[in-house]
Amino acid sequence: MSLEALKAAKSKVVGVKQTAKALQKKNALTVFIAADAEERLTDPIKAECEKQNVSCIIVESMQALGKASGIHASASAAAILNN
């Protein structure tokens, strides 16, 4: 799955806090994490993805992730939701 899937997703969340909430509620289908994001922010998300067996895709940069998410800012994490 690529950033194109995130661009096309009807239901998604953007940001570390929102992605963590989606994982907590077991609503995340796929999680995207920026390679250049701070590890102290993204490591708990990666661990939760592993725990829940949710695919976690590392993307090249926060800027690319923000753009794919449809926001005009950088993003450390995003997720496609189950609905």
Enumerate the β-bridge partners of residue 32: 57, 78
- CATH number of the domain enclosing 61: 3.30.1330.30
Q: Over the stretch 65-80, which tens digit does the pLDDT of each residue have? A: 999 999 999 999 999 9
Pair 80, 7: CB distance under 8 Å: no
Domain with 22, as residue range(s), is 3-81
Count of structural domains within the chain:
1
- Residue 81 pairs in a beta bridge with 28
Quote the distance between the C-alpha of residue 4 and its chain's center.
13
pLDDT in tens, the chain (83 residues): 688 899 999 999 999 999 999 999 999 999 999 999 999 999 999 999 999 999 999 999 999 999 999 999 999 999 999 97
Whole-structure pTM value: 0.93
Exposed / middle / buried, residue 24 (Cβ in 10 Å: 0-12, 13-18, 19+):
exposed
